[in-house]
Amino acid sequence: MESTISFPHILGHFNDLVAVTAGYPVAETANLPITELSIDSRNKTFTPFPLFFAIIGINHNGHDYIIEAYQKGIRQFVVNHAYNHSIIEKYNDVNILAVTDPLEALHQFTIFYRSKYQLPLLSITGSNGKTIVKEWMHELLSRKYKTVSNPHSYNAQVGVPLSISLLQPNHEYGIFEAGISQPGEMEKLARLIQPTHGLFTNIGPAHSQGFQTITQKIEEKIKLFAGCSTIYYCKDHPLVDQVLRKRYKNELINWSFNNPTADYLVRCKQLTGQTKLQITRSTQNHKRANTFIVPFRDSASIENITHCLVYLLDNGLDPALLQRSLLQLKAIPMRMTLKAGMNRCQVIDDTYTNDIASLRLALDFMQQQQPTKRTVILSDMLQSATPDHQLYQELAALLAKHAIHRLIGIGPVISHHSTLFEIPETIFFNSVEAFIAAKPSFKDETILVKGARSFRLERVVQTMEKNSHGTILEIDMHAIRHNLSYFRSKLQVGTKIMAMVKASTYGSGSNSFELASALQRHGVEYLGVAYMDEGIHLRQQGITLPIMVMNPTDDHFDAMLSHHLEPEVYSLPLLDELACFISEKSIQSIPIHLKLETGMHRLGIEETALDQLITQLKQIPALHIVSIFSHLAASQEDMHDAYTLLQADRFIKMTQYIEQQLAIKPLKHLLNTNGILRFQQFQFDMVRLGIGLHGVGVDQTIQPYLLPASTLKTTISQIKSIQKGESIGYDRKGIAQQDITIATIPIGYADGLSRSFGCGKGRVIIQGHACPIIGNVCMDMAMVDVTNITAQRGDEVIIFNAVHSIDALAEQLGTIPYELLTQISQRVKRIYYT
């Protein structure tokens, strides 16, 4: 079937690539067209003539995957001059271009391709809200134009070129976001995007570590707008206003909630579950006002949608058309999420976009999950720039290439093209209501739900989710990847990483394997767990990395061996038990990790026992010592640095003695998260990375370089008015000192909200305000004082997030982030964003 599909979208030809990059062909079979850009050999290609750029990054070197890319059908490559061109000796049907920097070559080719198109193109930057403003703008503009935008948050040095390659001749409008983390990057993105209009969302602390001041950060970001005819922003951010007016005085259009000198003045009135916005345009002759009802009340969403409305009104879109579209927008974060489903299913919720580019990304993500039956629930694709028959032919080929077992199509158009889908099982419904009424069954499946917003496929997701608990722990997988890259950048060449995923991955993992799977994909060499059952569960979920078990017991050696788990040996009695097991079972080889006592005084073999240890090890040839390690007691505290150095000295002497006596060279590892950052001279062969992956619990001088990955949040269940003198909660610990308003929230100590939060010691964030917890925390609920804000049922409540840090919360309560994270109950729903 795939051979019947034509792919007319040609980005250029190999000779164009040679010309625009000034590289030289190492091998050339023909002047082939280029129909797709690729930088990851794991992702499938979908067009006849893809081009692979071997980009060198912190986590991966693209040159290591050229053979794999060839085996997947790619025949055109851009490589570094220094690459060993052994592929030429094996294959004679390839085009290979050698350049100084493959990433720069990707940029040069993208500039060449972008220059073919003359169309209005809005580019968005700022600190927060870029992706959601881009997605909302895309949704609203698509009601009038054929639009194209970055898929998800492809907004940096690699993602932007891949996004620009999606431009096609029938597109009428482009919306692209751009993000940077250090000076010098935005000029490159500006040359790639070539925007005609610009929009600056706001400025904040996100990604500030690469800049000396906030002013420098703004100055770097606004370089995106160098070629723009008009630039839009909120005047209520005074530093943004100041820097923009200094550089782009004549191109600016601004708006404000309170400054009457702004070009647009915005008034807000909160309604039940909605907000009324009045947007007034000031002109020399008269003022024009438009009123809109938007489906959210939080300040971030209000600012984001106002950016959209001001831009769209200023560019002539019909206010009535906008109002009809507004109520379909989602107020939730617009990212792909992984959720636990009923009957051992995984649900990938990607219901906020529906186009070919984002579907490819979602299918690639789906393939990275545990190997189960794959089901796709897909709605009609609306506002596509491709004719229906061709569009659904491409969809059918895409699903077939990803080995989808079942397709559930929702909508009249996809149902009309049902015969195009040649996959094992298909079923089609004209509406979501018909799907829900039919109650299809799901069991042991990975299910991707993707569709146009007008179908409201979140209703489909709700029917399949495992937990209906109103409290959610969100884990940002982008933050995990960022933190991993940061720590990896601090390692010497060749130093391996053992990621500690014990205690349900510091509370972020459910009974599944989401984070361990991501770490495996991103090149971590080892995993560490506390107990055998944690390791077995990871094996059952398809994790193949070596796994060290820190607390093995003699009654579990058989299960550990059968699941290829590697025990830590921390005492001579444990070694004796292992020796007996080996003898009884006639085991040929078992990998082990020796734990040495250097000063933690928890688990470990004492220096005085080394000779006995060595004698026993010599008598058990089946034991293969994979690593020798110890644990630092106080690597974060500089007041204890002398003790840390003493521990390191003991470790070096003990390991050298063992190596000499046994004539072995195992891996050696001593450093934990804070040790990696503060004692780089002791990295040895491997380091153990734990809570630092989550972007918390580190030295405060390092914190600005990390992204906190977890958000614990809930919603308001009920609002009550309490008169002065009345009591709130168990034991009447909360007494109203005046007439107050309280909100009840569905989170208690059974969920991980410790009782120590009660009686005013803990605070939660509602509408940006810190609201104290009143009275004792209950098992399943808590009450908070919302007297000074206009709160209502359903409002979001933040316990901690990237802005309201878990570190500060832990310090306030006299504990550590580890405890707060690991005590979050498994009944709290986990959602993984990518």
Question: What CA–CA distances, in Å, run from 285 to 288, 309, 345, 771?
Answer: 10, 22, 61, 46
Question: What CA–CA distance (Å, rounded) separates 153 from 149?
Answer: 10
Query: Is 502 noted as a catalytic residue in this protein?
Result: yes
**Phi and psi dihedrals of 760, rounded to 5?**
85, -5
Q: Quote the pLDDT of residue 284.
A: 55
Q: Quote the pLDDT of residue 6.
A: 41
Q: What is the pTM of this model?
A: 0.76
Every domain of the chain and the residues it spans: 2-107, 117-326, 337-466, 476-704, 710-833
- Which amino acid makes up residue 230? T
The one catalytic residue in 44, 117, 730, 761 is 730
Helix (H) or strand (E) holding 36: strand 36-38
With beta carbons less than 8 A apart as the criterion, state whether 384 and 414 touch: no
- Which of 803, 765, 802, 797 lies closest to 781, judged by CA? 797
- CATH (residue range 337-466): 3.90.190.20
Looking at domain 117-326, does it have CATH number 3.40.1190.10? yes
Q: Quote the pLDDT of residue 416.
A: 94
Question: What CA–CA distance (Å, rounded) separates 257 from 29?
Answer: 61
Q: Quote the pLDDT of residue 554.
A: 81
Which residue blocks in 353-420 are alpha helix, DSSP H?
356-367, 388-401, 412-416
Which residue blocks in 195-329 are alpha helix, DSSP H?
214-221, 238-247, 299-314, 319-326
β-sheet bridge partners, residue 666: none
Q: Is 783 helix (H, G, I), strand (E, B) or coil?
A: strand
Residues of the chain with pLDDT under 70: 1-8, 58-59, 86-88, 205-209, 283-286, 330-335, 371, 383-385, 467-469, 503-512
Question: What CA–CA distance (Å, rounded) separates 253 from 264?
Answer: 8
Q: Quote the pLDDT of residue 119.
A: 96
Look at the alpha carbons of 383, 386, 388, 393 in this order and tell me if their dihedral is positive or negative.
negative
Count H helices, E strands: the chain? 27, 41
Q: Domain 476-704: give its CATH architecture.
A: Alpha-Beta Barrel (3.20)
User: Residues of 424-457 as b/e, b for ≥16 C-beta within 10 angstroms?
Assistant: eebebbbebeebeeeeeebeebbbbbbbbbebeb
Q: Where are the beta strands (DSSP E) in 683-732?
A: 686-689, 710-715, 718-722, 727-728
**Phi and psi dihedrals of 200, rounded to 5?**
-105, 120
- Which of 469, 67, 543, 653 lies closest to 670, judged by CA? 653
With beta carbons less than 8 A apart as the criterion, state whether 31 and 59 touch: no
- Which of 306, 297, 329, 330 lies closest to 766, judged by CA? 297
For the stretch 384-414, pLDDT in tens is: 667 888 889 989 988 988 889 999 999 999 9
The one catalytic residue in 502, 668, 713, 829 is 502
Question: What CA–CA distance (Å, rounded) separates 749 from 464?
Answer: 27
β-sheet bridge partners, residue 623: 590
Question: What CA–CA distance (Å, rounded) separates 807 from 803?
Answer: 11
Q: Tokens for 272?
A: 């039940």
Question: What CA–CA distance (Å, rounded) separates 49 from 32?
Answer: 7
**What fold does the segment set 2-107 form as a domain?**
3.40.1390
- Which of 135, 311, 313, 319 lies closest to 228, judged by CA? 311
Q: How many residues does the chain have?
A: 834
Strands 547-549 and 565-569: parallel
Q: Quote the pLDDT of residue 451.
A: 86
With beta carbons less than 8 A apart as the criterion, state whether 730 and 778 touch: yes
Question: What CA–CA distance (Å, rounded) separates 685 from 669?
Answer: 6
Q: Quote the pLDDT of residue 3.
A: 31
Q: Domain 710-833: give its CATH architecture.
A: Beta Barrel (2.40)
Name 714's Cβ contacts closer than 8 Å, sequence gap at least 6.
Answer: 470, 471, 472, 745, 746, 747, 796, 797, 799
Q: Is 307 left (phi over 0), alpha (psi -120 to 50) or beta?
A: alpha
